[in-house]
Amino acid sequence: MKSISNPTIKPQPSPLEAHLGFWMRFVSNQVSARFEAELAAHEVSVTEWVALRALYAQAVTTHAGLIDALGMTKGAASKVISKLEAKGLVVRYFVDGGAREQVLNLTAAGRRLVPKLAKLADQNDDYFFAHLGDEQRQALITVLQDLVAHHQMKQVPVK
């Protein structure tokens, strides 16, 4: 006997909850929103925090180096640097008095602020992930790093 298909019955799309991306975004949004609120108390955005942390890692860097580290456009990086300059956290020098190459440095205030903000980042991680235990946390980091490497993701998350 032949089975008869009913053309009016369409397969149901998979539910949102069946997708890893849904759960990653769900968690990421919550982690980011809480951290963003913590940073706002220090009048720093997530993008500014990422730039500050990148600058903290190197005593001096060029504007081009920061653009590469953050995966931002030149214009976007310039806006972030200008905001950080206005807040007294970064200084910009022009190499050899010209306007082509810029060197960036954290100010003393910027150097003092980064460890405080890093502690907030650590506390935010603990708030969301401490219940996992060290092995599970490391396994999660490893899986996510593998995804980044496999898909050759370069742009640092700044939003």
Which band of pLDDT confidence, cut at 50, 70 and 90, is reported for residue 93?
confident
The answer for residues whose C-beta is within 8 angstroms of residue 77's C-beta and 6 or more apart is 51, 63, 66, 67, 70
- What does the block give as tokens for 138? 């490391």
- Give tens-digit pLDDT for 53-81: 999 988 668 888 888 888 888 888 889 99
The full set of domains in the chain, from first to last, is 21-150 (1.10.10.10)
